[in-house]
C-alpha cells in the first residue's frame, strides 16, 4: 500500500530520461514511483538498473518502488488513481497505438484527480489529451538532460538533469490548478537536491526554443548521416541547411507570439549551432533512432512547428523538404517493421 505521505507516480517509459526522473522522485522521499518498462523489463526485474550518473553517482541494482510490465487497468485492479502519471516515452503520433490509448487504462477520461506530465519533445503534444481527457491537468516537461541507455537497464548520465515544468493551457479547468500541480511536481522532483527542476511560466517558449535544435539539427543529422560535430565541419552544411532551418523556426515562433531572440547578442540560432560543440561527434536522438532502425519523432518535432508556421504565413521551405524526407524515412521503417505492405515486383 502507498505511503500516505508520498505522492504516487506512475512513470511510463524507463529509458535514459525516465529512469533518472524515477531516481530523482524516489530519492527526494516525497514520491513513490511505479515504473512501466517494456524492452528492459526483464533486465531490470532480474538485476535492477545499473546507473552511472553525474548527478547521483553510481547506483547498482537500483529499482524504484514498483516495476511493472504494462500500464495497470484501474477499473480491474485494486489501485487508487495515481497523483501523477509521467510520460517519458518517445512520441510517434503517426505510429499506433497513440499515447492517449497507452495511458487510458490508468487514466479514466473523466479524471480530475491525476495530473499528467509529458516529458516529451515537440509541439502540440498535449492536444490529443485535451480531446480524450478534457479535465485532466497536463504539464509540460522539457528535459535538457544528457543521458543514454547503452544496454537494457544500464543508464549513463553524463550531463545534468535540467527539467522545465509548466502547465499546458487547458480551457476546461482553472489556470491556477495547472500551475499548482506544476509547482508541486517541481517540489517532489527537486526534493533530493540533485536535479535542476524549475517551474516555468512560459511552456510555449521552452518548447519552441528547444525546437531550434530539435526541428533542425536533429532531422538534418538523421537524414545526412552526419553527427552534430561532422555536420559543423562538412563543407557548407551549416550555411546551407542548419542556419536556414533554424531561422525558419525562429520566425515561426515569432509569428506564434514567442520571441526567441529578445536580444540580438544572444542569438538562439548561433547558440544552438554551438550547443554541443564540446561534445564533438554527438548523434542526436533521431540519428541514433535511424541507426537502430527505430521510428523517429518527426511529427511533433518537425511536422507540428512546420504546420504552425505555415498556417501563420511564415515561409518554411527548408523545413518543408526536411519534413517530407523524414516522412519517407519513417515510411521505410514502417515497411521494415511490417506496418505497411508493398506489392510484389512485376515481371517484365
Binding stretches for a second copy (CB under 8 A): 220, 223-226, 229-231, 233-237, 240-241, 278-281, 317-318, 320-325, 327-329, 331-332, 335, 340, 342-343, 345-346, 348
Half-sphere exposure of 190 (CA within 13 A, CB side): 14
- Rounded to the nearest whole angstrom, what is the least distance from the CB of residue 56 to a second copy in the complex? 19
Nearer to a second copy, 60 or 281 (CB): 281
CB 77 within 8 Å of CB 107:
no
Residue with cell 499548482: 180
Q: Tell me the closest approach of the beta carbon of residue 347 to a second copy, in angstroms.
A: 9
Q: How far is the CB of 286 from a second copy (least distance, A)?
A: 14
Nearer to a second copy, 183 or 337 (CB): 337
Q: Closest distance between a second copy and the C-beta of residue 123, in Å?
A: 20
Q: How many residues appear in the chain?
A: 348
Residue with smaller CB distance to a second copy, 131 or 328: 328
- Dihedral angle computed from the Cα positions of residues 164, 165, 166 and 167, in that order, rounded to the nearest 10 degrees: 140
Minimum distance from residue 291 beta carbon to a second copy (Å)? 12
SS3 sequence of 269-302 = HHHHHHCCCCCCCCCCHHHHHHHHCCCCCHHHHH
Asked whether the beta carbons of 106 and 73 are under 8 A apart, the reply is yes
Nearer to a second copy, 72 or 229 (CB): 229
Q: 236: left (phi > 0), else alpha (psi -120 to 50), else beta?
A: left
Three-point CA angle 328, 293, 116, nearest 5°: 85
Contact 242, 231 (CB under 8 A): yes
Min dist CB 273 to a second copy, Å, is: 15
Task: Work out the number of other CB atoms within 10 angstroms of the CB of residue 337.
Answer: 12
Closest listed residue to residue 249, CA positions, set 284, 200, 301: 301
Minimum CB separation of residue 240 from a second copy in Å reads 4
Return the number of the residue (193 or 338) whose C-beta is nearest a second copy.
338
Nearer to a second copy, 46 or 235 (CB): 235
What does the CA dihedral 325, 326, 327, 329 come to, rounded to 10 degrees?
A: 90
Nearer Cβ to a second copy, position 97 or 345? 345
- Distances, alpha carbon 336 to alpha carbons 89, 172, 237, 283, in Å: 21, 42, 29, 22
CB of 270 or CB of 281, closer to a second copy = 281
Closer to a second copy by CB, 25 or 250: give it.
250
Q: Which three cell numbers stand for residue 292?
A: 537502430
**What is the DSSP secondary structure assignment for residue 122, as one 8-state letter?**
S
Contact (Cβ atoms closer than 8 angstroms) between residue 24 and residue 186: no
**Closest approach of a second copy to the CB of residue 115, in Å:** 35
Smallest distance, Å, CB 276 to a second copy? 10
Least Cα distance to 268 among 319, 209, 219 occurs for: 209
Amino acid at each position: 500500500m502507498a505511503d500516505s505521505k508520498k505522492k504516487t507516480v506512475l512513470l511510463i517509459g524507463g529509458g535514459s530520461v525516465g529512469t533518472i526522473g524515477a531516481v530523482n522522485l524516489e530519492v527526494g522521499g516525497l514520491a513513490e514511483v511505479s515504473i512501466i518498462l517494456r524492452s528492459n523489463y526483464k533486465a531490470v526485474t532480474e538485476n535492477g538498473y545499473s546507473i552511472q550518473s553525474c548527478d547521483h553517482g553510481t547506483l547498482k541494482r537500483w529499482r524504484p518502488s514498483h516495476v511493472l510490465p504494462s500500464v495497470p487497468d484501474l477499473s480491474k485492479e485494486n489501485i487508487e488513481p495515481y497523483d501523477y502519471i509521467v510520460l517519458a516515452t518517445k512520441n510517434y503520433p503517426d505510429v499506433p497505438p497513440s499515447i492517449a490509448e497507452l495511458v487510458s487504462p490508468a487514466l479514466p477520461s473523466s479524471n480530475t484527480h491525476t495530473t499528467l506530465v509529458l516529458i516529451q519533445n515537440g509541439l502540440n503534444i498535449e492536444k490529443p489529451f485535451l480531446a480524450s481527457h478534457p479535465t485532466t491537468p497536463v504539464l509540460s516537461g522539457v528535459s535538457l538532460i544528457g543521458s543514454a541507455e547503452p544496454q537494457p537497464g544500464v543508464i549513463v548520465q553524463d550531463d545534468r538533469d535540467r527539467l522545465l515544468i509548466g502547465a499546458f493551457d487547458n480551457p476546461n479547468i482553472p489556470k491556477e490548478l495547472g500551475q499548482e500541480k506544476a509547482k508541486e511536481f517541481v517540489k517532489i522532483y527537486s526534493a533530493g537536491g540533485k536535479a535542476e527542476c524549475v517551474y516555468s511560466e512560459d511552456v510555449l517558449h521552452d518548447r519552441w526554443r528547444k525546437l531550434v535544435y530539435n526541428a533542425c539539427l536533429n532531422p538534418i543529422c538523421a537524414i545526412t548521416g552526419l553527427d552534430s560535430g561532422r555536420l559543423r565541419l562538412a563543407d557548407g552544411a551549416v550555411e546551407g541547411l542548419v542556419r536556414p532551418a533554424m531561422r525558419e523556426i525562429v520566425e515561426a515562433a515569432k509569428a506564434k507570439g514567442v520571441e526567441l531572440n529578445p536580444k540580438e547578442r544572444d542569438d538562439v540560432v548561433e547558440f544552438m549551432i554551438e550547443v554541443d560543440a564540446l561534445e564533438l561527434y554527438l548523434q542526436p536522438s533521431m540519428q541514433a533512432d535511424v541507426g537502430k532502425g527505430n521510428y523517429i519523432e518527426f511529427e511533433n518535432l518537425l511536422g507540428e512547428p512546420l504546420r504552425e508556421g505555415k498556417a501563420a504565413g511564415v515561409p518554411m521551405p527548408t523545413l518543408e523538404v526536411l519534413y517530407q524526407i523524414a516522412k519517407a524515412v519513417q515510411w521505410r521503417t514502417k515497411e521494415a517493421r511490417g506496418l505497411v505492405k508493398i506489392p510484389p515486383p512485376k515481371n517484365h
